[in-house]
Chain A
Amino acid sequence: MAINVKGFKDSLLRSLPLIILIYVSISEFQTQFYFWKIFSFNLQFIIIYYWVLRDPSILGYGFIFLCGLINDVVLSLNLGISPLSYLFVSLVAAYIRTATVRSTLISDWFTFVIAIMGGNFITFILIKNFSNVGVNYTDFFYNSLFTFILYPFFWGIFELYKRGISLRVYD
């Protein structure tokens, strides 16, 4: 019984990033967390990029795809826009993981720019060409900027969390 409780606890702890990702996608976090007319950030990008890069066993691609679909429904976008954007971020993270031997915060942080730019570019192109939704480019720019700036902060939290639950780094 004790083993089962421990197993359940471990499994719950390992699933926490996924639970947060689903919650952020389904809740009003993205629209509510907006201050001073410019401050907002894309927490989904940060979670996906970090965990696919550092430990892909925590965050399955299937769940990332599903969270993208949920996000499209909640934000009333055409289905498939967010999944493509999230999967591009996952692709960049998976590529960096394969191509680099030892990743550091600095290397992760600067390659994250490619993921943000690519992810948002896909969103822009699809919205612009296949949807009637208008986009405020300045706000998107600020969102991307703050997502980039806040990455080290979340990197620190996730590193501590990963060490705390003694997860092994994916090889």
Chain B
Amino acid sequence: MATSRDDFGIAIRSALLQRGAKQKFSLFVLILASILIFTLDNLELRSVKVLRGVINDGIYRLSAISSSPISFASASKSFLSTHLNVHKENEELKKKIEVLEKKSFDTLYLQTENNQLQEVLDLDKTTAYSTIGAKVMLDKNSPYLNSVVINKGSNVGIKLGMPVLSKGNLVGRIVEVNYISSRILLLNDLNSKIPAVISPSGEQAILSGIGQKNPTLEYLPDSFQNVDDLTVYTSGKDGVLFPGISIGKIIKDSDDENDNEERIMVKLFSDPTQILYVNVVLDKSNDEEAK
């Protein structure tokens, strides 16, 4: 028994300390170095943060270049499949155009009516934000991480927590800022929690990512009724995001039909897997600027 324990100790010691013929460092030294780096990174010292920002910028650029073959392969696959389905798509599009033409007349009427009503009620028509456009460099959608890296950073005034829009709808918020790049945590990420308000009922909830395509609504009141055509907006209760940014429509969770507890899912207006260009909201324009 004692011999067996000795053998184990010798083998472990040898594995940890032996450098071998072509090894420049022993495992023991590198494990110590990893612990040291981990500790320094967790201490969040300013110098370490700056250093990490520089490393991030460099590696994101390299990563974008090295990922290009994979991105090209997926783009080619998508291009081919799109062309194969072009006839079917054409028929569908014709039908859609008919519907949209009808809707455009309806919209025009509603827009006119809305303008008249706003004038009457003297509502705040300011929806303008001062934003900065950015391009998505890296798309990291996986079960562990739903975030994207954009090509703008603190050099243009981006700060932590700023909301990010795609086609005018919220897609996420800034969680990491480097000098020339930033990371956006998408709404469907496991760590994303956004205070939201449901329109027109006005109920408050928390929009939580669950690692799937659509996020869910949590902390809804018991009296909440899931009816059609409910839209979700930011409530701005956290004091970080601006209120009234459109997020998506409420849908029923089709995956968990057998589940006793029905989840309220939100279909996002801007598909987080399809974004290429985004607008980072730097500030909300004041009323005068918007007018």
Contact = CB atoms under 8 A, between A and B. Distances in A.
Contacts of B60: 73-74
B140 A31 contact: yes
A108 to B, nearest CB: 15
Contacts of A133: 145, 191
A24 to B, nearest CB: 10
B180 interface: no
Contacts of B176: 76
Given A27-B66, A62-B30, A136 B190 contact: yes
Contacts of B220: none
B15 A91 contact: yes
Contacts of B14: 94, 98
B67 A27 contact: yes
A155 interface: no
The contact size tier of chain A is 35 or more
Interface stretch (A1-9, A64-72, A158-166): A64-72
Interface residues of B, number: 56
B16 A91 contact: yes
Contacts of A78: 38, 41-42
Interface in B2-43: 7-8, 11-12, 14-16, 18, 20-27, 30-31, 33-42
Interface string B40-51: 111000000000
A126 B55 CA distance: 21
Nearest to B193: A134
Interface of B: 7-8, 11-12, 14-16, 18, 20-27, 30-31, 33-42, 52, 55-56, 59-60, 62-63, 66-67, 70-71, 74, 138-145, 147, 175-176, 183, 189-191, 211
25 contacts: A26-B62, A31-B139, A37-B143, A40-B142, A40-B143, A57-B21, A61-B25, A62-B25, A64-B30, A65-B25, A65-B34, A73-B56, A74-B140, A76-B140, A76-B147, A78-B38, A79-B52, A80-B34, A80-B36, A83-B34, A84-B34, A87-B27, A91-B15, A130-B38, A136-B143
